[in-house]
Amino acid sequence: MALSKLLADERRLLELLSLVMVLMGVLSFVLLRFIRVPYGRYSSSVFGPPVPVRLAWFLQELPSLLIALYYISTQQELGAPSVVLMGAFTCHYIQRTLVFPFLIRGGKPTPLTSFVLALIFCCYNGYLQNSYLCRHAAFPSGWTRDLRFITGITLFLCGMFINVYSDHILRNLRKQGETGYKIPRGGLFEYVSGANFFGEIVEWSGFAIAGWSITGAAFAIFTLLVLLSRAQQHHQWYLEKFEDYPKSRKILVPFIY
């Protein structure tokens, strides 16, 4: 009885945290109309002392990976949909924690404020997604054959590929010893300024569709609102920085926006 009440209370907590995440996304979207995200090309000492970029990426993404591994290790019985979704989440954060940071070439330090906010978000979202999938998800029989699950996982894989490949393009813009910024070429960068952002939005939208839950939807909405703002800022920056920047390129969605 006590356990069932505890689980019911936690479920309500997860629903509340999902709502708060959406509100955070809306707030971020509004704030980013007036300020630029203080990282990379927009870094500023106003937002705190610098943290080495590789260390910042590794530490800030690590909680999501560790929380996922903790939940996986403590659960004895999980349905196939939860296993696949947690596997997808874990794969993303293995790449973000153990691969991506160590491939960065140069890169400006991350201001402490940006680092701390990212760290807090990864703790928050890591708990939200994994607690729901391990303790509260109740998928219908045969969910792995449902069109929503198949479509969602396909979108997740496509989005992750686009995101990782776009990061590869950005990393290789400069030759060894070169500094400064260049116009990205290749892949979806031929069509949009925010190809890497587009990939991540597709990725987590697919995750939300496959899981068909309020927690996954909240993460997808937050990702869309934040990365849309970043893509808009990047697009404007490219137009201001490069006179020959392709005018046909859209901001985020090929041929549309």
Picking from 116-125, 158-167, 169-178, 200-209, which range would have the lowest pLDDT averaged per residue? 169-178
Residues 217-233 have pLDDT tens digits of: 999 999 999 999 999 99
Give residue 175's pLDDT. Answer: 73
Q: What is the average per-residue pLDDT within 164-172? A: 94
Answer whether residue 120 shows pLDDT above 60.
Answer: yes
Residue 105, pLDDT score = 81
Please determine, for residue 179, whether its predicted confidence score (pLDDT) is greater than 80: no
pLDDT above 90 as % of the chain: 76
Better-scored residue on pLDDT, 216 or 42 = 216
pLDDT of residue 45: 61
Q: Quote the CA–CA distance of 176 and 230 in Å, as a whole number.
A: 27
Sorting pLDDT into bands at 50, 70 and 90, what band is 106? confident
Band of residue 7 on the pLDDT scale cut at 50, 70, 90: low
The single-letter code of the amino acid at 36 is R
pLDDT tops 60 at residue 1: no
CA-closest candidate to residue 215, choices 152, 125, 148, 141? 125
Among 65-69, 121-125, 173-177, the range scoring the smallest mean pLDDT is 173-177
Question: Residue 39's pLDDT is what?
Answer: 65
The pLDDT of residue 107? 75
Please name the residue that has the structure tokens 């985020």: 252
Query: Residue 178: what pLDDT?
Result: 65
Q: Sorting pLDDT into bands at 50, 70 and 90, what band is 9?
A: confident
Distance CA 112, CA 115 (A): 5
Element (H, E) at 33: none
Q: Give the C-alpha distances (Å, rounded to integers) separating 54 from 64, 75, 195, 225.
A: 17, 32, 22, 25
The pLDDT tens digits of the residues spanning 24-60 come to 999 999 988 887 766 666 655 667 888 999 999 999 9
For the chain, percent of residues with pLDDT exceeding 70: 92
pLDDT averaged over every residue in the chain: 91
Distances (CA, A) of 134 to 45, 62, 123, 233: 41, 19, 16, 37
Q: Which helix (H) or strand (E) covers residue 1, if one does?
A: none
Distance CA(81)–CA(210), nearest Å, equals 8
pTM: 0.92
Please tell me the predicted confidence (pLDDT) of residue 35. Answer: 79
pLDDT of residue 196: 97
DSSP secondary structure of 48-116: -SEE-HHHHHHHHHHHHHHHHHHHHHH-S---HHHHHHHHHHHHHHHIIIIIHHHH--S-PPEEHHHHH
Rg for the chain, CA atoms, rounded:
19
Q: Return the pLDDT at 75.
A: 80
- State how far the Cα of 206 lies from the Cα of 233, in Å rounded to an integer: 25
